[in-house]
Chains A and B, each alone.
Chain A
Amino acid sequence: MIKKSIALILIAILFVAIFFTLANDLPFGDNRTTTGVSDKYIYHGVNDTGASNLVTAIVVNYRGFDTLGEVTVLFVAATGVGAVLYNMGRPAGKKRKKTEASLIVRTGSRILFPMMLLFGAYIFVHGHLTPGGGFQGGAVIATAFLFKYVSDTRYHIDHNKFTATESVVGMTFALVGIMGLLLTGYFLFNFLPNGSPGELLSAGIIPIIYVAIGIKVGAELTGILDNMMEVEQ
Chain B
Amino acid sequence: MTAGNVSKYVYTAIILFLLWIVLTSTFFWEEILAGLVLSAMVAAMGYSLFTDKGLGNFSPKRLAYFLVYIPVFLWDVIKANLDVAYRVLSPKMPIKPGIVEIHTDLKSDIAKLGLANSITLTPGTLTLDIDDDRLFIHWIYVRTTDIKEASEEIGGKFERYMKVIFE
Contact = CB atoms under 8 A, between A and B. Distances in A.
A118 B113 contact: no
Contacts of A122: 20, 23-24, 38
Interface stretch (A65-73, A106-114, A225-233): A106-114
A114 B28 contact: no
Contacts of B49: 110, 113
A117 B46 contact: yes
Contacts of A107: 109-110, 112-113
A113 B109 CA distance: 16
A115 B116 CA distance: 20
B19 A118 contact: yes
A200 B50 contact: no
B74 interface: no
B105 interface: no
B42 A114 contact: yes
Size class of the B contact interface (CB-based, 8 Å)? 20 to 34
Nearest to A103: B130
B129 A114 contact: no
Interface string A119-147: 10110011000000000000000000000
Nearest to B44: A114
Interface residues of A, number: 21
The main secondary structure of chain A at its interface with chain B is: helix
Contacts of B43: 114
Identify the interface centre among B24, B42, B43, B131: most chain A CB within 10 Å of its CB.
B42
B45 A200 contact: no
A25 B43 CA distance: 57
B42 A104 contact: no
Interface in A43-69: none
B39 interface: yes
B30 A114 contact: no
Given A103-B130, A118-B20, A200-B31, A108 B113 contact: yes
Contacts of A119: 19, 23
A199 interface: yes
Nearest to B38: A121
B113 A104 contact: yes
A117 B45 contact: yes
Contacts of A102: 129-130
A113 B113 contact: no
Nearest to A123: B23
Contact of A125 (B19, B38, B112): B38
Contacts of A113: 46, 49-50
Contacts of B46: 110, 113-114, 117
A122 B20 CA distance: 8
A181 interface: no
11 contacts: A103-B113, A104-B116, A104-B117, A107-B109, A110-B50, A113-B46, A118-B39, A121-B38, A122-B23, A122-B38, A200-B28
Given A118-B16, A199-B30, 8 more contacts: A104-B129, A107-B113, A110-B49, A110-B50, A114-B45, A115-B16, A118-B42, A122-B24
